[in-house]
């Protein structure tokens, strides 16, 4: 899939709208705790600055639900952008109100204006075409570099593209890179290709699993979702997370894997705890012998060894979803061990966004992976084989 390329646009001196994903995590004092998403947009912004563009940046932050709420102001983002770009960032007081429109109109070449939180406007999440038009009216050119929201048909992501022809819209560098990595993964991965799939529930990953099955050589299951499979295999899973309504689906996945010759790995041991708590009493038990009322909260050491063994010869690794409750130190070991192994391998390693990106970063291995996606939901939908509503209008028709 080829996307309209920012390098092919005539950008010189133009007014450019760049939809970014500055939805960054904040601590309790309102400080940005991880600015990776902001840093990821810098290449596209600098490319436009180099061509004397006047730049209007826009993003959402959190869920202000259509109302102005200072808690969700993009002011901290403006400050971080100022540090990273080393130039003044003009912050509008609103999104498409008098202040934003006046500031946008007065914007000179190489000046950067940041609109306030797009979700202060109730129309944004409804893909309101009036809002899209107001955003489009501010500029000559539209660039989407917000991979993390491309799975949402929102005004600034989907509707707005209708107001630009193919010579006036394109994907930014980050979006290009995300689509390229996942495209290669799904179409021509270097084999053997392994997917490590974890996270809380089968329901969240079932579509991705189904779509991945015909494409991969091996699948390694971890996290809470493993227990639905283990229960279906007849094991006693105690009080572990389970989705009883998906037992048959789990069976279907295992049957399909067998039919396709995909090696399907499940945990052989787990760290079981008496309760879901950071200070819970815990012990290592085999997957067959989880005591009643105990819950498996991480993969065990034998599973780590088994998975390492299975991953030894692979050339491409896709990882989506933690192996255990990594937010609690006691149950983070499985994810951490797998992360180290993946990072040290010579394979191409692609990490899905969201929790998996978070855990890899916590361990300090983010630089060691080939690629870490900036979008959890968006990357999952790509793995499900979907064409994202923010990407569809930017695809070059063949
Ligand atoms: P997801 O959003 O589906 O990718 O799931 C991520 C969440 O799964 C993380 O917050 C983990 O704490 C949680 N998780 C991982 N393993 C388990 C488990 N064995 N039991 C319960 N929750 C888990």
**Domains of the chain (ranges plus CATH)?**
6-176 (3.40.50.1260), 189-383 (3.40.50.1260)
CB of 375 shorter than 6 A to ligand 1: no
Atom of ligand 1 nearest to the CA of 327: 12
CA of 201, closest atom in ligand 1 = 3
Judge if pTM exceeds 0.85.
Answer: yes
Q: Is 353 a residue whose pLDDT tops 80?
A: no
Best of 223, 338, 380 for a ligand 1 pocket test (most atoms within 8 Å of beta carbon) = 223
Query: Encoding tokens for residue 333?
Result: 């070991």
Measured CA to CA, the distance from residue 143 to residue 173 in angstroms comes to 10
Q: What is the mean pLDDT of residues 198-221?
A: 96
How does the average pLDDT of the chain come out, rounded? 96
354 catalytic residue (yes or no): yes
Task: Give whole-number Cα distances, 209 to 107, 201, 382, in Å.
Answer: 48, 12, 12
Among 35-39, 50-54, 132-136, the range scoring the smallest mean pLDDT is 35-39
In this predicted structure, the answer to whether residue 27 has a pLDDT above a threshold of 90 is no
Catalytic residue among 36, 133, 201, 263: 201
Q: What does the chain come to in residues?
A: 398
Q: How far is Cα of residue 70 from the mean position of the Cα atoms in its chain?
A: 26
Average pLDDT over residues 334-362: 94
Mutate to test the pocket of ligand 1, among 322, 326, 338 (most ligand atoms within 8 A of CB): 322
Q: For 231-271, how does the pLDDT look when each residue is reduced to its tens digit (9 = 90+)?
A: 999 999 999 999 999 999 999 999 999 999 999 999 999 99
Task: Give the CA diameter of the chain.
Answer: 69
- 354, pLDDT greater than 90: no
Strand partners, 171: 5, 144
Concatenated DSSP letters for 290-316? Answer: PPTT-EEEEE-HHHHHHHHHHHTT-SE
Of 296, 299, 303, 264, give the one whose Cα is nearest residue 282: 296
CA–centroid distance, 152 to ligand 1, in Å, is 23
> Which of 290, 297, 377, 303 is closest to 329 using CA atoms?
297
Cβ distance 364 to 327 under 8 Å?
no
């Amino acid at each position: 899939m080829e996307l309209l390329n920012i390098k092919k646009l005539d950008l010189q001196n133009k007014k450019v709208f760049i939809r970014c994903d500055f939805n960054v995590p904040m601590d309790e004092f309102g400080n940005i705790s991880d600015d990776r998403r902001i840093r990821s947009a810098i290449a596209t912004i600098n490319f436009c600055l180099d061509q004397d563009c006047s730049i209007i940046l826009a993003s959402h932050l959190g869920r202000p639900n259509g109302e102005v709420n200072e808690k969700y102001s993009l002011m901290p983002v403006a400050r971080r952008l100022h540090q990273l770009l080393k130039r003044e960032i003009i912050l509008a007081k609103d999104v498409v109100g008098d202040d934003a429109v006046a500031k946008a109109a007065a914007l000179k070449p190489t000046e950067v204006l940041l609109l306030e939180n797009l979700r202060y406007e109730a129309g944004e999440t409804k893909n309101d075409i009036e809002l899209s038009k107001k955003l489009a009216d501010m500029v000559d050119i539209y660039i989407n570099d917000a991979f993390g929201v491309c799975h949402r048909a929102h005004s600034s992501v989907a509707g707005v593209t209708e107001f630009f022809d193919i010579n006036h819209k394109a994907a930014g560098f980050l979006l290009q890179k995300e689509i390229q990595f996942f495209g290669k993964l799904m179409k021509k991965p270097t084999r053997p290709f392994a997917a490590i799939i974890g996270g809380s529930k089968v329901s969240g990953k079932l579509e991705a699993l189904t779509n991945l099955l015909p494409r991969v050589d091996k699948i390694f299951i971890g996290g809470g979702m493993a227990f639905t499979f283990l229960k279906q295999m007849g094991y006693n899973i105690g009080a572990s997370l389970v989705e009883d309504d998906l037992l048959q689906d789990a069976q279907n996945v295992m049957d399909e894997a067998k039919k396709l010759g995909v090696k399907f790995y499940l945990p052989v041991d787990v760290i079981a705890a008496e309760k879901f708590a950071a200070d819970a009493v815990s012990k290592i038990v085999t997957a067959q012998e989880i005591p009643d009322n105990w819950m498996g909260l991480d993969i065990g050491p034998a599973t780590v060894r088994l998975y390492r063994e299975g991953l030894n010869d692979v050339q491409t690794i896709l990882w989506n979803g933690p192996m255990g409750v990594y937010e609690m130190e006691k149950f983070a070991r499985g994810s951490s061990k797998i992360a180290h192994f993946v990072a040290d391998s010579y394979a191409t390693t692609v990490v899905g966004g969201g929790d998996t990106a978070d855990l890899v970063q916590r361990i300090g291995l983010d630089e060691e992976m080939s690629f870490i996606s900036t979008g959890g939901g968006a990357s999952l939908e790509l793995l499900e084989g979907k064409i994202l509503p923010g990407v569809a209008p930017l695809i070059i028709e063949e």
